[in-house]
Amino acid sequence: MGSDFWDAAYGTPKPGQLHPFRAVRGAKHSAPATPGDLLFHLRARRQDLCFELAHRIADAFAGLAAVEDEVHGFRYFDERDLLGFVDGTENPAGAVAEAAALTGANDPFPGSSYVVVQRYTHDLSAWRGLSVEAQEAAVGRTKLEDLELPDEAKAPDAHIVLNVVEDADGRERKILRDNMPFGSLKDGTFGTYFIGYAADVSTTELMLERMFTGADGAAHDRLLDFSTAHTGGLFFVPSQTFLDDPAAGLQAAAAEVQATDPA
C-alpha cells in the first residue's frame, strides 16, 4: 500500500516508515519517484499462474483503479541478471532474512515490511562493449564464478561497495532482494526490476543515496552508467493478520502507539 492510499483508506495510526518514495538526484544519474497506490508482487514457478492472478486482480479493480506499470519478470539461467552476473548473492536467509525484512513484535504493525521497487533498463550494447575485467570491476564480483573481489581490488564505485550499509557498531544492515530480469527483443528493452524488502526502509534508502550521489570517493555507482532507473515507489506490506481484520489491526496499532508514547 502506498502512502497516499493508506491516508485515504485508514488514516491514523500510520506505519512509522511509510511515506512517498524520495527521489534521489545525483550529479549524473537520478532515481525518479513514481507514486502508486497498490503494488501486487506475484510469484510462482509457472508464469501462467502469475498472469491469471494478475488478470483477476485487474478485473476486481476495474473502474476503481488503473494499471500504471506492469512488468513480467523471468528467471535467467542460474539466478543471473541480463548483465550476466548472479543477482542476490548476499541475500540473507532464514532467521536473518526475517529480521531484515519483517518488523518485530514491538512494532505497532508487527510482521509487516516495507518494499521499494524500481524498474531499470540496461544499455546492453555499451555493457557488452566492456571487457569482462571491466564488468567485474563495476560489479565487484567475478562474472563466471560469482566470487567477491578482494577488498584491495575493489574499485570505490563498484556496485557492491556502495551497496554495503553498516550500523553504528560496524555491522552490515541487510535487506531482502527479489530482483527479476525482464526484456523485449522487439522493443530492444532489457532490464532489472528491483524489489527490496526491509523492516527498516532507511537501509534501502541509504543504499540508493550512496548509489546515485556517491560515497567514500566514488561519484556514483558504476553500474548506473549502463542502467537507468525509470520508476521508484515505496509501499507498506501489511501482515496477513492485518489483511484478515484491518479494524482490529488498527486498534492494536493505536494501543501500541499510545503505550509507547502516552503524550
By CB atoms closer than 10 A (0-12, 13-18, 19+), residue 228 is middle
Q: How far apart are CA 136 and CA 131, in angstroms?
A: 9
Q: Which residue in this structure is represented by grid cell 528493452?
A: 189
Please state the separation of Cα 207 from the chain's center in Å: 10
Is residue 216 among the annotated active site residues? no
Among the options 4, 7, 69, 87, which is catalytic? Answer: 87
CB 21 within 8 A of CB 234: yes
Active-site annotation, residues:
87
